[in-house]
């Protein structure tokens, strides 16, 4: 495969990339006086910067494809750099493997060390170029050799990492790339899961992964491998490594600035004067491209940071899908020496502000208070199966359920997710991959801080991300661990989290930094404690980051998880297999008190109905408490990340359970809320029902009507129409009913809202069971 080249004036390399001349019109200075943040720059009006051939496929050589794979069960799994001396390997024993992929998905159910080998040619015309070898994701640690030369060591499953390899490649010949991948199991003398070393969050230890959190098999089906693309990228004399864009929007939103930091490395030259051309273009909406700005800069040998400030008049703002359009801009950069292109880069970002008002304890998007209807998300244990179509399918289901925010639960997921969240307009609460307990050594704290900084740097430009949250249920907050671990220390990981928080405060001051998602944010009524009617009581927490219950998938999916011998569990061995697939019998039968019934269909129906009732009851209660004090709620969780039986309201194959439709009903932006008892009622005893109007939109309701009907079977007991007006982003009680049933059975209250034109806006219903007196 050939790469299109650049003319490199230092070497006199033949021009093969035809650089399109800019049509220079009259010079205008756009907004240079509007803000002290601006650099001095020359602006060329209404000229689109030609899209250079980096980083398009013509100038990025993909190294994806079929590699050789050699597991090494005898190798040390210590998380340190390997010896630079490449060991002798018997590649006759190697097997083909697809890259990118997680090795488990390729049929290799292993943990520990495996070797990868790939041979590829490089065009001899590129001998005068700077060539960057880039790995977009390797789980977990890796050592890299190119043509026998040791390039380096990297730890961390989610980060992109790079090596300049111009001096190591063989041009016009075959090259040999060897990668040692180490994805080990956690090992500790006692309580390994409390003293973890791998920063993998739910991918290494969690109750929704294969084997669950507390079994000896809880580290099965390892996520290791080269799971993201490997590329070779060409440039001339220097190489752009990273671009960071900080949007600043004026209070009146009529002016904005994109503050740009570009990390550039120049391996061999002394100080060099260059020109940087920059342009903002609409990425997903129709508008005139911004002017081309030219900045004169000087770069030195080694690593540099080039700063730019680019004005934008009347910017299109990025909004969530339910409040506007998620408009994105493309920043296009070209680094030149005279007329000679050195390197180019494109990145997308959005002009928007998201703030946490600590006094009112609410989030504000572009200055507007916003109530967050969210879900927790672990799309898969194995990222290489997360295709754009699969993420798009999930996002479509979320939008249909009126979800406007997603908590990426205790891990960092595939880049495809963040790109699509930007495009669709979903806010992302991003967790760092710390789940429960970790080592408290200085070495581990340094590693966590470094990976936290890399998380922010890598994901910084995504407007969808509005929160960085650092640790899920850390030991210093999870006192239930005292009953789980003999070595539990109530101060464990406090220093880790404090140092991580302090360091990451310096990395991003435009987003809310959340120290930890603590147990107070995770009520779990009706699953781990009490009954779900506790959700009806007032909470003192503004952020509810977990609530939910388990439910079985439908029969067709269940038969794909279990074979016929364990589909209806009877023996201890059967139940062990169910627990391996995350089913929790104690919580199901003793706390939730769900009945199995007499056949699988009964069991499926009963668990799904329980999850559905809990979802509706909890979500409606928290929405009635909007800003008093609740400002965000996140159901746990959207989907099952492997073929299993857990908290997903959508199963692994993306079939929706009853709980999905219940949450969809409770998450309607304009909701006829029903405040009714959760428990079964008794004939002859009265109970109250309150009807609410809840409006999450930023438009008022004028001349609206709530219509309700209370039914027992096919008999309507009471019906009425209530006219009302309601402010934007507000809620209120419209009426109260005093219900005193005279006969047992199911009583259903149906409530609808119509607008001033009598068009249906929303519909809700709630069913309550009444039983005879003893």
pLDDT digits 0-9 by tens, 712-758: 989 999 999 999 999 999 999 999 999 999 999 999 999 999 999 99
265 closest CA partner among 134, 135, 360, 450: 134
Q: Which residue has the higher pLDDT, 54 or 10?
A: 10
- pTM (2 decimals)? 0.93
- DSSP category for residue 55: S
Tell me what pLDDT residue 494 has: 98
Q: Which residue has the higher pLDDT, 729 or 54?
A: 729
Q: Distance between CA atoms of 53 and 599, rounded to whole angstroms?
A: 61
Q: Distance between CA atoms of 336 and 338, rounded to whole angstroms?
A: 6
Q: In what order do the strands lie in the sheet with 362-365?
A: 354-357, 362-365, 368-370
- At what angle are helices 442-459 and 494-505 packed, to 10 degrees? 40
pLDDT exceeds 90 at position 118:
yes
Tell me what pLDDT residue 55 has: 36
- When pLDDT is cut at 50, 70 and 90, the band that residue 117 belongs to is very high
Tens of pLDDT, residue by residue over 357-391, are 999 999 999 999 999 999 999 999 999 999 999 99
HEC profile for 325-372? CECCEEEEEEEEECCEEEEEEEEEECECCEEEECCCCEEEECCEEECE
Q: Is 293 helix (H, G, I), strand (E, B) or coil?
A: strand
Q: Distance between CA atoms of 120 and 729, rounded to whole angstroms?
A: 58
Question: How large is the C-alpha radius of gyration of the chain?
Answer: 29
pLDDT exceeds 80 at position 334:
yes
**Low-confidence winner among 51-65, 549-563, 680-694 (lowest mean pLDDT):** 51-65
- Cis peptide bond upstream of 637, omega within 30: yes
What number is the average pLDDT over the span 260-288? 95
Q: Which residue has the higher pLDDT, 581 or 8?
A: 581
Q: Distance between CA atoms of 229 and 135, rounded to whole angstroms?
A: 6
Cβ neighbours of residue 252 under 8 Å, at least 6 residues apart? none
By CB atoms closer than 10 A (0-12, 13-18, 19+), residue 53 is buried
Tell me what pLDDT residue 189 has: 79
What number is the average pLDDT over the span 438-463? 98
Tell me what pLDDT residue 49 has: 58
pLDDT exceeds 50 at position 635:
yes
Query: Chain-wide mean pLDDT for the chain?
Result: 93
320 closest CA partner among 659, 663, 650, 696: 696
Do residues 558 and 603 lie in contact, with contact meaning Cβ atoms separated by under 8 Å?
no
pLDDT exceeds 90 at position 34:
no
Q: Is 68 helix (H, G, I), strand (E, B) or coil?
A: strand
What number is the average pLDDT over the span 614-642? 99
The DSSP line for 462-473 is: -TTEEEEE--BS
Do residues 238 and 266 lie in contact, with contact meaning Cβ atoms separated by under 8 Å?
yes
Tens of pLDDT, residue by residue over 472-528, are 999 999 999 999 999 999 999 999 999 999 999 999 999 999 999 999 999 999 999
Cβ neighbours of residue 585 under 8 Å, at least 6 residues apart? 575, 578, 579
What number is the average pLDDT over the span 283-312? 97
Tens of pLDDT, residue by residue over 177-205, are 999 999 999 997 789 999 999 999 999 99
Q: Which residue has the higher pLDDT, 40 or 163?
A: 163
Tell me what pLDDT residue 679 has: 87
Tell me what pLDDT residue 8 has: 58
> What share of the chain in percent tops pLDDT 90?
90
Q: What domains, with CATH codes, occur in the chain?
A: 27-51+236-349 (2.60.40.10), 60-234 (2.60.120.260), 354-431+518-666 (3.20.20.80), 670-771 (2.60.40.10)
Do residues 359 and 629 lie in contact, with contact meaning Cβ atoms separated by under 8 Å?
no
Tens of pLDDT, residue by residue over 346-356, are 999 999 999 99
pLDDT exceeds 80 at position 424:
yes
């Amino acid at each position: 495969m050939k790469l299109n080249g650049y003319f490199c004036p230092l070497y006199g390399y033949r021009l093969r990339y035809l650089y399109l001349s800019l049509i220079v019109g009259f010079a205008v200075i756009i907004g240079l006086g509007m803000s002290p943040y601006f650099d001095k720059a020359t602006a060329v009006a209404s000229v689109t910067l030609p899209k250079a051939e980096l980083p398009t496929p013509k100038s990025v050589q993909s190294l994806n494809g079929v590699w050789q794979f050699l597991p090494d069960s005898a190798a040390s799994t210590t998380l340190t750099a390997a010896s630079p001396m490449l060991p002798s390997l018997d590649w006759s024993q190697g097997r083909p493997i697809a890259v990118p992929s997680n090795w488990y998905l390729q049929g290799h159910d292993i943990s520990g060390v495996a070797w990868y080998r790939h041979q590829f040619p490089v065009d001899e015309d590129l001998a005068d170029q700077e060539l960057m070898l880039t790995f977009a994701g390797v789980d977990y640690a890796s050592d890299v050799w190119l043509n026998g030369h040791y390039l380096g060591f990297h730890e961390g499953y989610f980060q992109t990492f790079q090596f300049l390899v111009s001096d190591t490649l063989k041009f016009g010949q075959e090259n040999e790339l060897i990668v040692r991948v180490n994805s080990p199991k956690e090992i500790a003398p006692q309580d390994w899961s409390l003293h973890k070393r791998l920063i993998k969050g739910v991918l290494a230890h969690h109750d929704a992964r294969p084997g669950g959190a507390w079994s000896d098999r809880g580290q099965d089906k390892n996520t290791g491998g080269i799971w993201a693309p490997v590329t070779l990228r060409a440039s001339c004399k220097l190489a752009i490594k990273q671009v960071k864009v900080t949007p600043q929007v004026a209070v009146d939103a009529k002016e904005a600035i994109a503050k740009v930091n570009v990390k550039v490395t120049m391996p061999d030259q002394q100080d060099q004067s260059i020109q940087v051309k920059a342009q903002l273009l609409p990425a997903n909406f129709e508008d005139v491209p911004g002017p081309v700005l030219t900045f004169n800069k000087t770069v030195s040998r080694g690593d540099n940071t080039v700063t730019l400030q680019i004005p934008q008049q009347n910017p299109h703002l990025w909004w969530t899908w339910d409040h506007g359009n998620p408009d994105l801009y493309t920043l296009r950069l070209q680094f030149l020496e005279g007329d000679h292109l050195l390197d180019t880069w494109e990145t997308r970002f959005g002009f928007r502000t998201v703030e946490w008002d600590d006094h009112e304890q609410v989030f504000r998007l572009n200055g507007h208070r916003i109530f967050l209807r969210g879900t927790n998300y672990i799309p898969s244990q194995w990222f290489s199966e997360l295709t754009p179509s699969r993420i798009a399918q999930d996002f479509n289901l979320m939008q249909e359920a009126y979800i406007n925010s997603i908590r990426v639960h205790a891990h960092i997921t595939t880049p495809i997710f963040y790109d699509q969240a930007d495009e669709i307009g979903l806010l992302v609460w991003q967790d760092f991959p710390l789940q429960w307990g970790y080592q408290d050594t200085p070495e581990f704290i340094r590693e966590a801080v470094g990976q936290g900084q890399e998380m922010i740097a890598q994901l910084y430009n995504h407007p969808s991300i509005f929160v960085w949250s650092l640790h899920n249920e850390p030991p210093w907050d999870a006192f239930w661990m005292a009953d789980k671990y003999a070595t539990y220390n109530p101060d464990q990981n406090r220093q880790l989290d404090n140092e991580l928080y302090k360091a990451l405060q310096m990395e991003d001051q435009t987003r809310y930094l959340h120290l930890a998602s603590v147990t107070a944010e995770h009520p779990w009524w009706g699953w781990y404690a009490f009954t779900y009617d506790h959700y009806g009581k007032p909470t003192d927490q503004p952020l509810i980051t977990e609530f939910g219950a388990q439910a079985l998938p439908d029969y067709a999916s269940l038969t794909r998880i279990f074979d016929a011998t364990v589909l209806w569990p009877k023996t201890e061995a059967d139940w062990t297999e169910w627990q391996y697939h995350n089913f929790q019998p104690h919580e199901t039968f003793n706390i939730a008190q769900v009945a199995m019934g007499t056949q699988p269909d009964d069991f499926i129906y009963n668990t799904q109905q329980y999850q559905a009732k809990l979802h509706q009851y909890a979500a409606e209660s928290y929405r009635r408490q909007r800003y008093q004090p609740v400002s965000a709620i996140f159901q746990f969780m959207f989907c099952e990340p492997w073929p299993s039986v857990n908290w997903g309201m959508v199963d692994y194959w993306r079939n929706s359970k009853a709980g999905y439709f219940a949450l969809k009903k409770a998450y309607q932006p304009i909701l006829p809320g029903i405040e009714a008892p959760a428990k079964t009622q008794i004939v002859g005893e009265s109970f109250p029902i309150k009807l609410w109007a809840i409006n999450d939109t930023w438009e008022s309701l004028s001349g609206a009507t709530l219509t309700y009907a209370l039914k027992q079977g096919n008999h309507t007991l009471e019906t009425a129409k209530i006219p009302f007006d309601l402010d934007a982003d507000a809620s209120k009680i419209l009426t109260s009913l005093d219900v005193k049933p005279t006969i047992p059975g199911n009583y259903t209250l149906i409530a609808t809202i119509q607008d001033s034109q009598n068009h249906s806006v929303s519909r809700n219903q709630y069913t309550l069971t009444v039983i005879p007196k003893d």
